[in-house]
Amino acid sequence: MTATPDVELPDARTVHNPATGDVAGTVRWTDPADIPRIAAGLRTAQAQWESRGAAGRAKVLARFAVWMGEHRDEIEELLIKETGKSATDAVQEVPMLIMIASYYIKTMEKALAPETRPAALPFMAVKKVEVNYRPRPVVGIIAPWNFPVANAMMDALGALAAGCAVLLKPSERTPLTAELLLRGWHDSGGPEVLALAQGAREVSEAIIDNSDFIHFTGSSRTGAKVMERAARRLTPVSLELGGKDPMIVLEDADVELAAQAAVWGGMFNAGQMCVSVERVYVLEPIYDQFVAAVVAAVEKLKVGAGEGSHFGSMIDQTQVEVTDRHVREALAAGARALTGGERGEGNFYPPTVLVDVNHSMSCMTEETFGPTLPIMKVSSVAEAVRLANDSPYGLSASVFSRDVKRAKDVALQLDAGAVNINDVVANLMCITAPMGGWKESGIGARFGGADGMRKYCRQETVVTPRTNVGAGGNYYNNSLKSLKRTTNMMTKLALLRPRRVAK
């Protein structure tokens, strides 16, 4: 529960604004020993939540969406305080949640309805096959700090729509907005199927141990630990992990458009975004023109928290140090910084454009999660594709060309869960399609239309008779001669289509 800074609470932790150092609020950490009790309460409440049906749950989600819209200013003000974001960055999160909620409200009844499957062979037409989507009782969500409103609730909304209860652990760096959102859920008439657990590693471990499904968003290294612990109880997981997203700029691209996209995609939220543009490969004929356009755009950026700035501070000194190390190592290895290049005051880092870079440098191979934009000249499309794929990550990517078909051909050669053509980050808004990473960027996907809800469900197949005729025909009371006759018929019927195709 959020409290004023002067209130003494057991296990109270003070949260500071990374941009100013001011106290943003305090939060009470959860005792890991209490997690089993909290999960048990959620599991009890979930049964009634499921029994409301999709239409009943949609009404609660609709009221919650309205509440978020009406309290948007309050949410964003607190968001800026606990993250040090600029207002430009902060205003993106609540509309994203409202859009996701609206989509689920519109589609959830159809998406979660039982599905009738056809008979594979004519003699099985005597059976009705129905697949039901049954929600997992408790979904544990371990959310990151970079988008503490959107990243926490965008996954929770799908689970709640599916009929699950949700045990949410926001990042210990940004716990305050989650408290506000929980208040909004209750103010909207939401039942006790959404609970918070505040804390660090020990609380996360307890959530994994007491949940029926885990969604984690964060680093690849931590994601592996989450999966390892979940495997102890064979708990399924969905992981959205790190990225080192490449942009490829072909020689026929709209240079100004590509440059503006690179700057926005690389600097938005101080580069602290899993789908940030983290490396750019530009075909040689337009390389100089592209770099000049990028530098001109970056030099117009204003860094600072709150109103009037393009992006704000980084979350803490640890993240500043990672970014600064990547820049320093690149400069020492022969790269040049055309803007920025030296750390600023406090948790601010200036937007930094690096050129003369290559894959021997950490700025091109390790996730930076900071406001840097390394740009590399390439001689061919094949070289650009090879370098783009030369990474343990595969979250998303982008390709710029005036020839959309050509760009799509390049996109389908990239090892990434999503590719944007002549745009960046747009796949985040495409909530009808999967958002998932390849390689070390994750397992499973967010969103994905109906799958954004179904992933939190178990599939239960129910087979019922359409008629009693033939019931028991395959039981042990059948003769061997009859059994052979039946299996011969099955084989012949099953081979009809393969034989036609084989011809």
Residues marked active site are found at 240, 274
Sign, CA dihedral 253-255-257-261, equals positive
Q: Which residues contact 211 (CB under 8 A, 6 or more apart)?
A: 39, 138, 139, 140, 167, 235
465, β-bridge pairs: 127
Separation between Cα atoms, residue 120 and residue 130, nearest integer Å: 13
Which of 136, 139, 134 shows the shortest CA–CA distance to 153?
A: 139
Q: What is the DSSP string of 102-171?
A: HHHHHHHHHHTS-EEE--SSGGGGGEEEEEEEEE-SEEEEE--SSSTTHHHHHHHHHHHHHT-EEEEE--
What angle, 0 to 180 degrees and rounded to 10, lies between the N-to-C axes of helices 201-209 and 35-51? 50
Rounded to whole angstroms, the Cα distance separating 375 from 358 reads 9
- Distance between start and end Cα atoms, the chain: 69
Which secondary structure element, helix H or strand E, spans residue 214, and what is its range? strand 213-217
